[in-house]
Structure 1
C-alpha cells in the first residue's frame, strides 16, 4: 500500500482512504467479491487529481538539525 500511495503522490494524484460507508451491511453486501461470497471489502481507496492546496507549514532545517 505504501508503494501505491507514494507512486500516486509522485504522479500528482491525491489518495483518500475510507471505511465508514462499508460499516453499513447494505453497502458492504454490494461491494463484496463476487467470486467469494464470504469475503467483504475492508477499505475503499480513492485516487484522483485535486487542485493543489496550501503547503504544510515546515520548520526551518536549522531548527531541527545540528550539523557538527
Structure 2
C-alpha cells in the first residue's frame, strides 16, 4: 500500500521521491530545494525555517498535492 500522508521527520528528498507533485509546491514558493543535496537531510520544518515560509500553510499545500496528485 502506498503511503498517502506526510510523516514527521521525512526529508524533502523522501517527499519529492514519494510524491513528485510536491515539487510544484516547492517551486511555487521559490524554494531551491529541488536538486539541492541538502534535501537528503532537511525536513519540511528545516526548509520552511530556512526560506521564511509558514510551515502549517506549506504542509497543507504539500498534503493537498499528495491527495490530489
Quick check: which one's helix share is greater? 2
Q: Rg: which structure is higher? A: 1
Question: TM tier, shorter chain?
Answer: under 0.3
* Bigger RCO (CA 8 Å, 6+ sep): 2
Could you state the TM-score of these two structures normalised by the residue count of structure 2?
0.24
Quick check: which one's strand share is greater? 1
